Structure 1
Amino acid sequence: MSEIEAKPKPLRWGIIATGNISIKFAKDLLVDPATRDATDVAHRIGAVGSRSIEGAKAFIHKLETDPGTSTECQSQLEACKTYGSYDEVYNDPDVDVIYIGTPHPMHYANAKRALEAGKPVLCEKPFTMSLSELDGLIKIAKDKNVFLMEGVWTRFLPIMYRVQEIIHSGKLGKVRRLFADFSIDFRPDEHPYSWRMIDPALGGGSLLDMGPYPAVWATMLLHHHPDNTSKKPPTLVFSHQTIYARSGVDANTRWLLEWEDVGQALCVTDMTAHGTHHGCVIVTCEKGDLILDGSIARPSTYHIIMRGEDGPSADDVKETFEVPVPAGVGMCYEADEVYRCIKRGEIQSDRMPWEESRMVQGWFDHIRATSGASGTG
Structure 2
Amino acid sequence: MTPHTIRWGIISTGGIATTFSKDLLVDPATRGVTDVRHKIAAVGSRSVPSAQAFIDKLKAASGPSSWGAQNGGLEGTKAYGTYDEVYADPDVDVVYIGTPHPFHHQNAKAALLAGKNVLCEKPFVMDVAELDELIAIAKENKVFLMEAVWTRFQPIAYAVQEAIQSGKLGRPRRVTAELSSFAHIDDRADDDRMIDPKLGGGALLDLAPYPAVWSMLALHQHPQNTDMEPQVLDFSQRIYKRNGVDEMSAFTVKWEGLAEARLLNDFTAWTPRDNACVIDCDKAQLIIDHPLYRPERFRIVPHPQTVAGSSESEAPAVKPDDITEETEHRFSIPAGNGMHYEADHVARCLRDGKLESDRMPLAESRVVQGWLDTVRKGGNSVLKDWPHIAGNW
Within a 5 Å distance, the mapping from 1:147-162 to structure 2 comes to 147-162=144-159
The answer as to 2:377 corresponding to 1:338 is no
CA deviation digits over 1:135-185, x for unaligned, max 9? 000010010000000000111110000000111111111212111100000
The answer as to 2:84 corresponding to 1:87 is yes
Task: Please give the TM-score of this superposition, normalised by the length of structure 1.
Answer: 0.95
Distance 1:146 1:38 in 2: 25
Q: 1:193 aligns with which of 174, 190, 193?
A: 190
CA deviation digits over 1:231-265, x for unaligned, max 9? 42223110111111111111011010111222111
- Cα deviation for residue 306 of structure 1 reads 1.6
Distance 2:345 2:4 in 1: 15
2:331 counterpart residue number: 323
Distance 1:313 1:342 in 2: 55
Structure 1 window deviating more from structure 2 (125-134 vs 256-265): it is: 256-265
- Cα deviation for residue 71 of structure 1 reads 5.6
8 A contact 2:41–2:92 mirrored in 1: yes
Q: 1:34 aligns with which of 29, 35, 52?
A: 29
- Cα deviation for residue 311 of structure 1 reads 7.8
Percent identity over paired residues:
50
Would the alpha carbon gap of residues 113 and 140 (structure 1) be closer, same or farther in structure 2, given more than 3 Å must change?
same
- Cα deviation for residue 318 of structure 1 reads 1.6
Distance 2:48 2:304 in 1: 63
Distance 2:189 2:376 in 1: 23
Specify the SS of the correspondent of 2:248: strand
Within a 5 Å distance, the mapping from 1:141-152 to structure 2 comes to 141-152=138-149
- Cα deviation for residue 294 of structure 1 reads 2.7
Distance 2:247 2:343 in 1: 32
1:66 counterpart residue number: 61
The answer as to 2:340 corresponding to 1:347 is no
Would the alpha carbon gap of residues 157 and 310 (structure 1) be closer, same or farther in structure 2, given more than 3 Å must change?
closer
1:221 counterpart residue number: 218
The answer as to 2:254 corresponding to 1:246 is no
Would the alpha carbon gap of residues 49 and 313 (structure 1) be closer, same or farther in structure 2, given more than 3 Å must change?
farther
Within a 5 Å distance, the mapping from 1:276-291 to structure 2 comes to 276-291=272-287
1:116 is matched by which residue type in structure 2?
Answer: L
The answer as to 2:52 corresponding to 1:57 is yes
Distance 1:355 1:312 in 2: 44
Specify the SS of the correspondent of 2:62: coil
Within a 5 Å distance, the mapping from 1:68-217 to structure 2 comes to 68=63, 69-70=65-66, 73-74=69-70, 76=72, 77-217=74-214
Structure 1 window deviating more from structure 2 (37-46 vs 117-126): it is: 37-46
CA deviation digits over 1:189-231, x for unaligned, max 9? 1010000111111000011111100011101110111110x24
Structure 1 window deviating more from structure 2 (62-71 vs 238-247): it is: 62-71
8 A contact 2:16–2:98 mirrored in 1: yes
- Cα deviation for residue 309 of structure 1 reads 3.4
Distance 1:332 1:235 in 2: 32
Would the alpha carbon gap of residues 227 and 312 (structure 1) be closer, same or farther in structure 2, given more than 3 Å must change?
farther
Distance 2:174 2:138 in 1: 36
Would the alpha carbon gap of residues 280 and 53 (structure 1) be closer, same or farther in structure 2, given more than 3 Å must change?
same
Specify the SS of the correspondent of 2:275: strand
8 A contact 2:26–2:67 mirrored in 1: no
Distance 1:275 1:312 in 2: 30
RMSD: 1.6
1:371 counterpart residue number: 379
- Cα deviation for residue 308 of structure 1 reads 4.8
Q: 1:361 aligns with which of 343, 363, 369?
A: 369
**Uncovered stretches (5+) of structure 2, i.e. residues with no partner:** 312-323, 388-393
**Uncovered stretches (5+) of structure 1, i.e. residues with no partner:** 1-5
Task: Please give the TM-score of this superposition, normalised by the length of structure 2.
Answer: 0.91
> How many residues are aligned here?
371
2:267 counterpart residue number: 271
- Cα deviation for residue 312 of structure 1 reads 9.9
Would the alpha carbon gap of residues 262 and 57 (structure 1) be closer, same or farther in structure 2, given more than 3 Å must change?
same
2:318 counterpart residue number: none
8 A contact 2:297–2:330 mirrored in 1: yes
2:13 counterpart residue number: 18
8 A contact 1:303–1:318 mirrored in 2: yes
